[in-house]
Structure 1
Amino acid sequence: MVRGLLCAALLFVTFTSRAETWPDKDWAKGTPIEGPAVDALNTYAFPTRDDATRQGIRTDALLVIRDGEIIYERYAAPTTARTPHLTWSISKSLMASVLGVAYGDNRFKLTDPVACFYPPMKQHPAVTMADLLHWASGLDWQESYEVAPLKSSVVAMLYTRGRHDMAEFAADTDSFSAPGKAFRYSSGDSNLLSAALKGMLGHKAYMSYPWDALFKPLGIHHATWETDADETFVASSYAYLTARDLARVGLLMARDGRWGAQQLLPKAWVDFNRQPFDAYKAGQDEAVPGGHWWLNREVQGAARPWPDAPADTFAALGHWGQALYVLPDEHLVIVRYGDDRDGSYRHNELLKRVLAAVQP
């Protein structure tokens, strides 16, 4: 009996030690995965690259972290392990994590009207911070790029009449719904969150806050985040990180906001990020929205968006195939950067092949 208890204790200690590996200046290297399933993963993620027409799957980077250690890493030139890659809309989830630090410091409540921090939103006084985080501001936003660029709110915000002050452009949008009642994916909502954070902190503290609050504590020293002309971080689109640095954010989220001995994000904040927005209707988007993260959850009887991945999988996703996947029960963090232009890449297919490759 004593021997059995001792063995169980030793197994628990061993498991805890693996699960609590943290990157220091760089990630530890685990046992590399290999075998036919890895070959199948490579075949899917890194087919012969068509740079002339930009057709097909065009993976720039694929990184798999298990139990805090790198077990798979591959890049396609010119991207390398040292390349800060444009994350596109992964920036939205990064802003959610930055806001989580401010939330833990009691800078705001989810029920606070955005107008408390950003006066141009006084024309929409009922919109709360939670509404923006759910992409449920009720603002009549058109999030389209190549399909209908002349009618696109996001193209106008990023590239034409809204580019100098993106949050103000979003605030000047008419409403189509009461706030908090309907999901409509909006890069405008994300940039309003960024402007609200600036209002909470003041301009000087705001300009270094993503680094002071999130990046430096995680050991991320080479992130770039562009601003608009009003010096508001473009939270919708323009953060750049290496794959290894983005994986640090994934590990933070996988471990409920804890980084080593520090609870960097309140667990309640991470729980909010991972809770489906209750007014979301199945099929409105490629995954289920949480608090500025995407979830692999069943809603209204509809199947999970990524049926071959566990239900607790969640992700930060960006244009042209950028993805940070977090699989807590599998102890996995996956970063995938790409330059996909034709929509052929599938999240579920990559997740299925990674899960097959990591099986003992």
Structure 2
Amino acid sequence: MFKGLPLLFMLQLFSLTAHAENWPAEQWSTGATLSGPTIQALETYAFPPRDDASRKGIRTDALLVIRDGQLIYERYAGPTTADTPHLTWSISKSLMAAVLGVAYDEGLFRLQDPALKFYPPLEKHPAITMADLLHWASGLDWQEDYEYAPLKSSVVAMLYTRGHHDMAAFTTDHAEYAQPGQAFRYSSGDSNLLAAALKNIVGPAQYRDYPWTALFEPLGIRHAVWETDATGTFVASSYAYLTARDLARVGLLMARDGRWGDRQLLPKDWVAFNRQPFDRYRAHQDEAVPGGHWWLNRAADGAAQPWPDAPADTFAALGHWGQAMYVIPSEHLVIVRYGDDRDGSYRHNELLKRARMAFAGKVQP
């Protein structure tokens, strides 16, 4: 079909028809510097005068936006800089899901495998599957209360007192309140059972380095820190630290269905599982819908989308005190927000609405 066409014209035609994508190398490529009233409106919300004395109000540590694989916005506050590995809190859970996705692709486990197969202390709860743990549906009577109710909190006891030495064993000792797989109850303990299972899934010899060799290094993440408990098990619930730029690489991976450059790092069916609502979830007002260790902006159980000013395909990794990574595949956006919000005043929908006005040029009706 190209017979007789000049070579230069053929090259130009090829460049127009080929699908070009931006992928970060050692550093992110950057787009045009943006400014204007929509950026100002976003910053007015995300970066109000910072009250570090009382720790009240919205206190954003980092806000970073990737569009079409390019870094187009970045701002830091407080002690955080572009080089700071920030505590992600429960974003760690979604990171563990990504690490497990690599092991799943290697054929080392299946979603319906009993978790007991990989973590023998779960013989007390033999019906729990890997999928149940990923849905926070183990059926264990876990209390995910924080500093406002520390005396009855399972997670406070696990992280700081009687459970901190061996967090998976502490979780296993909880009684069941429901049959596994039948009900959603958010549980940092479920996430740490997954971390303990991973140790036997990949083998103790590989386990210590596995998040790096499986996920971080292929993505070009150089400065990740992931703490373990005294047994050497990663604290998948809480204690991964990444820079905002590095966390955005995970977001881009998920936005592109597990593909990184020419490599399918996570299988597409694994990403689809992460983004599929747990079918036994019962909706709560303004609460994101649980997927496979990610959070979804989906209507569920008769309730509307929790973030009405963002598209329905938006999904997120979320953490305590305002940590968030939002992925909007339909608009080619990844938004990383680190914070230190202690009073619950931050609102996901408000930031998403303003960010879409600034970077996607629209807000969904």
Taking structure 2 as the reference length, the TM-score comes to 0.94
Structure 1 equivalent of residue 111 of structure 2 = 110
SS of equivalent residue, structure 1 residue 29 = coil
Q: Distance in 2 between matches of 1:189 and 1:286?
A: 19
1:178 aligns with 2:183: no
Residue 67 (str. 1) matches residue 86 (str. 2): no
* Contact 2:281/2:301 (8 A) holds in 1: no
Say whether 1:299 aligns with 2:293: no
Measure, in 1, the Cα distance between the counterparts of 2:360 and 2:254: 23
The CA distance in 2 between the partners of 1:243 and 1:10, in whole Å, is 32
Q: Could you tell me which amino acid in structure 1 is paired with residue 208 of structure 2?
A: M
Shift of 1:285: 7.2
Q: Distance in 1 between matches of 2:283 and 2:201?
A: 34
Structure 1 residue identity aligned to 2:300: V
Superposed CA offset, 1:274-328 (max 9, x none): 0000000011772000000000000122110100000000000000000010000
* Residue number in structure 2 paired with 1:230: 231
Instruction: Return the letter of the residue paired with 2:319.
Output: G
Measured after TM superposition, the shift of residue 358 of structure 1 is 1.3
Taking the aligned partners of 2:339 and 2:203, their CA distance within structure 1 comes to 35
3-state DSSP class of the match of 1:28? coil
Give the structure 2 partner of residue 344 of structure 1.
Answer: 345
| One-letter amino acid of the structure 2 residue matched with residue 293 of structure 1 | W
Task: Figure out how many residues of one structure are paired with residues of the other and give that number.
Answer: 352
CA distance in 1, matches of 2:291, 2:13: 37
Measured in 2, the distance between the counterparts of 1:90 and 1:244 equals 14
Which residue identity is paired with 2:198? Answer: L
Partner residue, 1:33: 34
- The CA deviation string for residues 63-101 of structure 1, in whole angstroms up to 9 with x for no partner, is 000000011100003100000000000000000000000
Q: Which moved more, 1:27-36 or 1:124-133?
A: 27-36
Question: 1:101 is matched by which residue type in structure 2?
Answer: V
Percent same amino acid at aligned positions?
Answer: 74
Provide the C-alpha distance between the structure 1 equivalents of 2:84 and 2:291, rounded to a whole number of angstroms: 29
Tell me what 1:84 maps to: 85
- Give the letter aligned to residue 286 of structure 1: E
Give the superposition deviation at 1:229.
Answer: 0.2
1:323 alignment counterpart: 324
Once the two structures are superposed, the pairs formed by residues 173-212 of structure 1 within 5 Å of their partners are: 173-212=174-213
Partner of 2:8: none
User: 1:190-243: CA deviations, max 9, x gaps?
Assistant: 000000000112222000000000000000011000000000000000000000
Alpha-carbon distance in 2 for matches of 1:314, 1:130: 19
Amino acid at match of 1:109: R
What is the CA-CA distance between 1:184 and the residue it aligns to?
0.1
Instruction: Supply the distance in 1 between the matched residues of 2:307 and 2:13 (Cα, whole angstroms).
Output: 35
Quote the Cα distance in structure 1 between the aligned partners of 2:317 and 2:180.
23
**SS in structure 2 at match of 1:301:** coil
Question: Kindly tell me: are residues 161 and 70 of structure 1, through their superposed partners in 2, closer, same or farther at Cα, counting changes over 3 Å?
Answer: same
Change (3 A) 1:8 1:289: farther
Letter in 2 for 1:243: A
What is the identity, as a one-letter code, of the residue corresponding to 1:327? I
The CA distance in 2 between the partners of 1:287 and 1:237, in whole Å, is: 19
Task: Mark the CA change 1:169 to 1:129 in structure 2 (over 3 Å): closer, same or farther.
Answer: same
The match for 2:220 is 219
Residue 10 of structure 1: how far off its partner (Å): 6.2
What SS does the corresponding residue of 2:52 show, helix, strand or coil?
coil
Root-mean-square deviation (CA, aligned residues, Å) is 1.5
| Runs of 4+, deviation exceeding 2 Å | 6-13
Amino acid across the alignment from 1:126: A
Letter in 2 for 1:182: A
Q: Secondary structure at the match of 2:308?
A: coil
Alignment partner, residue 309 of structure 1: 310
Kept in 1: contact 2:285–2:306 (CA 8 A): no
Which blocks of at least 5 consecutive residues in structure 2 are unaligned? 3-10
Shift of 1:9: 7.7
